[in-house]
Amino acid sequence: MNKKLVFVTFFAFSIVAASRVYADPHLPEKFDVSLTGLQFGWTIDQTVEFLKKRVEDRYGVLIRDTMDVRNRDQLRREAIAEAATIGTEIIKFDGSDTRWNVSEVKDEFRHGFGEEMLHVKEGATHLYFYYVDGALYKLQMTLPKDQQKEFLKAVVRAYGEPTITSEKGGFTADANETVRVWADTSISFSVTDHSERFQCFSFRWADARVDAIVKAKWPHEDADTINPLILESMEWASDPNSEEYGEDFDPVGDMLGVSPTPTPKPEKKPAKSGKAKPGKK
């Protein structure tokens, strides 16, 4: 494995570990208590194990509160069936599966950068867990558009008012999307309205630092359409040839404090003399 890639991955895990030392105000569990204990940095297998236990706990409460034996048996069967579906849909963004390119998650990945997604459906709710180099760094939850007003109130109760609000496409390429961002902590949180195109809205939690590192590796986007949470890591994109950065500038290495290996320059050969060689005219 490339040494630089190993260092980037190690750095990402270090950031994740540090972010759990204190109770970040934007932890998913502050909005949905059933996500208590979910940790960025987990593998897919660890996430699947957590989600199956989450189903078990949810049905356990229903079974406990149900007196009818037949209803209890039915709930147990439903719990087993739902748990069995978790981990069956894992998408590798390697260019082989492009149906997600035209979905509500289209802005959350790029093909060919070692990214994967675990998709879990819970009724009308969809959960998308994103991994880079095998480590969880982002969670997206989508819900039907008719529930948006109710859930936005719950979000404000959990996290307070948003840091930034963009009406109609300020942070994404889609001019019909409204984005609300809660920033300034190690875990970023945002809400995007996809109702005009995809009949839903989404919640997005991410390890802010790792998210920036991942997006800095993607093809450059128009600075006006980039989420402000990652602009700092991509300032160079507007003028990558600037003398301030130089031709060897590496945005990821710069964030990590790693000096790039200079590009070898061809040796200059002495200019040929205009004089003809002896014996030639």
The tens digit of pLDDT for each residue in 45-84 reads 999 999 999 999 999 999 999 888 899 999 999 999 999 9
pLDDT band with cut points at 50, 70 and 90 for residue 97: confident
pLDDT value of position 236: 39
Q: Tell me, letter by letter, the H, E, C secondary structure of the chain.
A: CCHHHHHHHHHHHHHHHHHCCCCCCCCHHHCCHHHCCCCCCCCHHHHHHHHHHHHHHHHHHHHHCCCCHHHHHHHHHHHHHHHHHCCCCEEECCCCCCHHHHCCCHHHCCCCCCEEEEEEEECCEEEEEEEECCEEEEEEEEEEHHHHHHHHHHHHHHHCCCCEEECCCCCCCCCCCEEEEECCCCEEEEEEECHHHHCEEEEEEEEHHHHHHHHHCCCCCCHHHCCCCCHHHHHHHHCCCCCCCCCCCCHHHHHHCCCCCCCCCCCCCCCCCCCCCCCCC
The tens digit of pLDDT for each residue in 222-260 reads 444 444 444 444 443 444 444 554 555 444 444 444 444
pTM of the entire structure? Answer: 0.68
